[in-house]
Amino acid sequence: MFAKSEKWIGNPPTPEVSKWVSRETEVLGWQKYLGELIAWAMQASLELGNEIEHASKWPGPLTWSEMTLHQRARSMRLFAIVKSTFASHARTSALINAFSEGISLASSNVDMNPGVQISNGFELIRQLTLEYSIRTRSEALTFRTALANRTFALSASETSPSSIVTDTIRRIDMNLHGIRSLLELYQRQ
């Protein structure tokens, strides 16, 4: 699918990992990257984009035995894309390497087969989504409190005198949506 449309598709998205300096920016950064990856993949294949989206939300392990031959091929390609994308981000690279060795990122008491998991991109996406999600109620409350304590001031380039109120409300709505997205990830676990 990529070979046929290669000239029309740009490079895979690159996350701004230099901005991942806190737990909140990690979680929001991963969600932003995941959305960009899904959109990028859909340029070549609606099927792959949908599979990435479903994998990120899947409640249990995604194993080779549940995949068709074509899904396995797409999964291996996805694994290579994600691994090369995060090669320069030490934390995510370490997580991907641990996953490749058969270590479950989601649960310490789940044993995986490294020979099979080494290239399972869908399961990698699922486990990285769990890693970069809110894990506890107290973490969710911390994010909610951080939103409540923010000051929303817009620069002159972000608004005009006639729309400052609506632009400020829009900025608050965007931040609120980000926190809601984080909380939805917590509720799925």
* From 79-83, 87-91, 172-176, the region with the lowest mean pLDDT: 172-176
- Backbone dihedral angles phi then psi of residue 8, each to the nearest 5 degrees: -95, -15
- pLDDT, mean of residues 159-178: 74
Could you tell me which residues come within 8 angstroms of residue 14 by beta carbon, excluding any fewer than 6 positions away? 85
Rg, the chain, Cα only: 19
From 86, 171, 180, 173, select the one nearest 134 (Cα to Cα).
180
- C-alpha–C-alpha distance, residues 180 and 62, integer Å: 26
Q: What is the pLDDT of residues 127-158, one digit of tens each?
A: 999 898 877 777 667 766 776 676 767 777 77
Residue 26 has pLDDT above 70, yes or no: yes
String of DSSP letters for 78-111: HHHHHHHHTTT-HHHHHHHHHHHTTB-SS-TT-B
pTM: 0.73
In a 13 Å sphere around the CA of 142, the CA atoms on its Cβ side amount to: 10
How high does pLDDT run on average in the chain?
81
pLDDT exceeds cutoff 80 at 121: yes
